[in-house]
């Protein structure tokens, strides 16, 4: 069939040219980073749908090749739900006046301003990857990530490639949250754990200074594996999901079509939570290594005793002198007492940490909340007290 062209923004008139050629024009009303101005063309089958978002109706177009019609349509069907999810956590879709196109491409997958390219080979090999999760296919995971770049990469863009984690880590993080919403928390947790296994002790989210000079040096596996985990950890340290997601939406609104840095994110987080996050970002963004929290929570007849060691993982840290340099973390201890739930915040400094809490009666349903959301190898056991009479500390 006739070839169709896809580009950034709204398609304009198509002009016939000599030698059976056609010229397509595209109009974009908003600023865009130059690296996101991509084009594609092919003998596509085209479908469309009007979706109503926060800013009004948005035209969604799907461009598929007939060879992979069934697999492509299966992926495309999640687009409205994906847009609704990302708008809910990140704010309005940045380009409501232009159509959104989802395009099968012969190259690798890519995020372009107002259109997403999904590599054709993904459809050709769908279902053949070992360990692929049931439910969402690999193509759907990729679409969720690439569409996230409409907010993190196109709607705002980093001032320096050194901060490229703001693009890639948030796009992956949004895709993981969408997986949890669609397939359940167990599926999301499995995906996070697979990512954790690929995090190296050498990984830093802050890329080397050369990354400021060329986008080719701004790629590191840390952006896709460590980055989403750091965002999950940051959310757990805020201890308030309303503040966390409000900060993300405010960051998008404040910096729409601007260039941003990690410091800008820190300022937005401080505004939302009333506290500084500079130390957190220094420890997790600029530094390497991972925390390791080990210890016990012991239950007595009328007390809870917590003993936790917070250090850098000795397996991952090459220099033993660096073990206690970071990390500063917090957890919530929750238990039931007299039929009512009680909760205390535990602020963990590097090194040894001990806490004792008096209870009116024997505490039950004791749990340490938030440990599962902190990247690192942790082991904390909840045990009965071997003897009574803890004393005060």
Split into its structural domains, the chain has a count of 3
The percent of residues above 90 in pLDDT, for the chain, comes to 72
Q: Does position 321 have pLDDT exceeding 60, yes or no?
A: no
Residue 389 lies in a domain: no
The 10s digit of each residue's pLDDT in 46-65 is: 999 999 999 999 999 999 99
Residue 140 lies in a domain: yes
Residue ending a domain, choose from 255, 286, 317: 286
One-letter-per-residue 3-state SS of the chain:
CCCEEECCCEEEEEEEECCCEEEEEEECCCCCCHHHCCCEEECCEEEEEEEEECCEEEEEEEEECHHHHHHHHHHHCCHHHHHHHHHHHHCCCCCCCCCEEEEEECCCCEEECCEEEEEHHHHHCCCCCCCCCCCCCHHHHHHHHHHHCCCECCCEEECCHHHCHHHHHHHHHHHHHHHHHHHCHHHHHHHHHHHHCCCCCCCCCCCCHHHHCCHHHCCCCHHHHHHHHHHHHHHHHHCCHHHHHHHHHHHHHHCCCCEECHHHHHHHHHHHHCCCCHHHHHHHHHCCCCEEEEEEEEECCCEEEEEEEEEECCCCCCCHHHCCCCCCEEEEEEEEECCEEEEEEEEECCEEEEEEEECCCCCEEEEEECHHHCCCCCEEEEEECCCCCCCCC
pLDDT at position 88 is 98
**Segment 150-159, tens digit of pLDDT:** 999 999 999 9
Domain co-membership, 111 together with 88: yes
Which of 352, 354, 318 has the alpha carbon at shortest distance from 333?
354
pLDDT, tens digit, 9 for 90 and up, residues 105-142: 988 899 999 999 999 988 877 655 544 443 347 889 99
pLDDT score for 313? 73
Same domain, yes or no: 100 and 77: yes
Whichever domain contains 139, its CATH number is: 3.30.2010.30
Q: Are residues 178 and 298 in the same domain?
A: no
CATH assignment at residue 260:
1.10.390.10
Question: Does the residue 278 lie in any domain?
Answer: yes
Domain boundary among 286, 321, 336: 286
Residues 83 and 115 in one domain: yes
Q: pLDDT grade, residue 26 (50/70/90)?
A: very high
340-348 and 329-337 beta bridge pairing: antiparallel
- Asked whether residue 59 is assigned to any structural domain, the reply reads yes
Q: Both 208 and 253 in a single domain? A: yes
- Rounded CA-CA distance 311/50 in Å is 52
251/305 same-domain check: no
Q: What is the pLDDT of residues 211-263, one digit of tens each?
A: 555 665 567 788 898 999 999 999 999 999 999 999 999 999 999 999 999 99
Last residue of a domain, one of 224, 258, 286: 286
Identify whether residues 128 and 33 lie together within a single domain: yes
Residue 147 pLDDT > 50: yes
Residue 223 lies in a domain: yes
391 occurs within a structural domain: no
If asked whether residues 301 and 278 sit together in one domain, one would say no
Residues 189 and 271 in one domain: yes
Is residue 259 located within the same domain as residue 366? no
Q: Is residue 393 part of a domain?
A: no
Full domain range(s) for residue 62 = 4-148
pLDDT reading at 182 higher than 70: yes
What's 346's domain CATH number?
A: 2.60.40
pLDDT above 70 covers a percentage of the chain that reads 88
Q: Does residue 78 sit in the same domain as residue 129? A: yes
In sequence order, the 6+-apart residues with CB closer than 8 A to the CB of 4 are: 41, 42, 43, 44, 46, 63
Q: Are 169 and 289 in contact (CB under 8 A)?
A: no
Assess whether 334 and 224 both reside in one domain.
no
**How does the average pLDDT of the chain come out, rounded?**
89
Residue 316 scores a pLDDT above 60: no
Give domain status of residue 390, yes or no: no
What is the Cα–Cα distance from 73 to 277, expressed in whole angstroms? 43
pTM of the predicted model as reported, rounded to 2 decimal places: 0.90
């Amino acid at each position: 069939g006739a070839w169709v062209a896809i580009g950034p923004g709204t398609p304009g008139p198509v002009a016939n040219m000599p030698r059976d050629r056609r010229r397509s024009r595209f109009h974009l009303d908003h600023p865009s980073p130059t690296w996101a101005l991509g084009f594609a063309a092919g003998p596509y089958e085209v479908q469309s749908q009007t979706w109503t978002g926060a800013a009004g109706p948005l035209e969604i177009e799907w461009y598929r090749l007939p060879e992979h019609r069934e697999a492509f349509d299966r992926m495309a069907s999640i687009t409205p739900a994906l847009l609704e999810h990302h708008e809910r956590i990140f704010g309005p879709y940045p380009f409501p006046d232009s159509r959104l196109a989802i395009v099968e491409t012969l190259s690798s997958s890519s995020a372009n301003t107002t259109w997403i390219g999904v590599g054709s080979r993904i459809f050709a090999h769908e279902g053949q990857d070992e360990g692929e999760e049931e439910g969402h296919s690999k193509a759907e995971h990729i679409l969720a990530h690439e569409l996230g770049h409409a907010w993190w990469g196109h709607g705002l863009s980093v001032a320096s490639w050194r901060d490229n984690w703001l693009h890639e880590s948030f796009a992956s993080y949004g895709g993981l949250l969408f997986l949890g919403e669609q397939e359940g928390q167990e599926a999301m947790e499995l995906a996070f754990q697979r990512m954790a296994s690929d995090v190296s002790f050498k990984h830093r989210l802050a890329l080397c200074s050369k990354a400021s000079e060329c986008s080719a040096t701004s790629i590191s596996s840390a952006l896709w594996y460590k980055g989403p985990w750091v965002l999950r950890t940051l959310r757990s340290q805020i201890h308030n999901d309303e503040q966390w997601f409000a900060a993300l939406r405010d960051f998008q609104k404040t910096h729409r079509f601007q260039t941003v840095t990690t410091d800008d994110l820190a300022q937005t987080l401080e505004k939302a939570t009333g506290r500084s996050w500079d130390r957190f970002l220094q420890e997790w963004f600029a530094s390497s290594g991972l925390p390791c929290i080990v210890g016990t929570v012991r239950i007595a007849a009328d007390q809870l005793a917590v003993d936790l060691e917070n250090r850098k993982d000795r397996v991952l840290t090459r220099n033993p002198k660096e073990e206690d340099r970071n990390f500063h973390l917090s957890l919530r201890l929750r238990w039931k007492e007299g039929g009512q739930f009680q909760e205390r915040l535990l602020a963990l400094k590097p090194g040894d940490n001990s806490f004792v809490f008096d209870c009116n009666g024997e505490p039950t349903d004791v749990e340490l909340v938030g440990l599962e959301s902190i990247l690192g190898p942790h082991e904390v056991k909840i045990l009965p007290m071997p003897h009574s009479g803890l004393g005060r500390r």
